[in-house]
Structure 1
């Protein structure tokens, strides 16, 4: 038995997608991520994208069952939230109510949905 204590290194959320190649393009072209892997070069059903130390996995779900697929809300703790807001505001990813705001729980943040309805919030702690 190992005497070493376990250490959590990272987590890679798996986001549902009804068109993995389209969602890969969204994360690369709109959000500045890089493709790390995909399961094949033809009918891509599973892929990973990353930006800095953040990795996301994208997994195909049947479009016929899409209404029953729950979409997560991810919160990205980042440095430079204002700069990222400025980077994304001209990429046509925000909805009409997206704004950089200070919250009562001590963050400065903005949020929007990706091309397949997964919620993304980017924040910095202000306290």
Structure 2
């Protein structure tokens, strides 16, 4: 019998972990842990069953700043989440949920370091 994979905790690159913690706090993620209260270099944030890790990287490791990963989050009500995020000012006023040809309703946001966060719901 194969071992069961329980969950995944993506590690997002961050140029300023404290600022990233604040950003994710604005969109409903609570701080789970940090290696330092004053100047964290590694931390985790959680919202529901989702946990993201934030890891500091120095300037040399940002040689391809436009080549940031995108993380997809499956949600139960993408329209309500869009309104929540607009209410805390992390989305531009013109942000909207879009219907895709592959059968989802989704919207996108970027964290302060350009990591893509895509929230979608099956139609």
Q: Is the 8 A contact 2:86 2:92 kept in 1?
A: no
Q: Distance in 2 between matches of 1:96 and 1:71?
A: 23
Q: Distance in 2 between matches of 1:55 and 1:108?
A: 23
Structure of larger gyration radius = 1
Q: Distance in 2 between matches of 1:63 and 1:32?
A: 28
Q: From 5, 9, 13, give the equivalent of 2:6.
A: 9
The aligned residue for residue 92 of structure 1 is: 89
The CA RMSD measured in Å over matched residues stands at 1.6
- SS of equivalent to 2:24: helix
Q: Which consecutive unaligned segments of at least 5 residues does structure 2 have?
A: none
Deviation digits for residues 69-121 of structure 1 (CA, Å, limit 9, x no counterpart): 54210000111111101101122212465320111000011011111111010
After TM superposition, the score normalised by the length of structure 1 is 0.87
Q: Which consecutive unaligned segments of at least 5 residues does structure 1 have?
A: none
Q: Distance in 1 between matches of 2:6 and 2:92?
A: 33
Q: From 107, 111, 115, give the equivalent of 2:112.
A: 115
- SS of equivalent to 2:114: coil
Q: How many residues align?
A: 122
The aligned residue for residue 68 of structure 1 is: 64
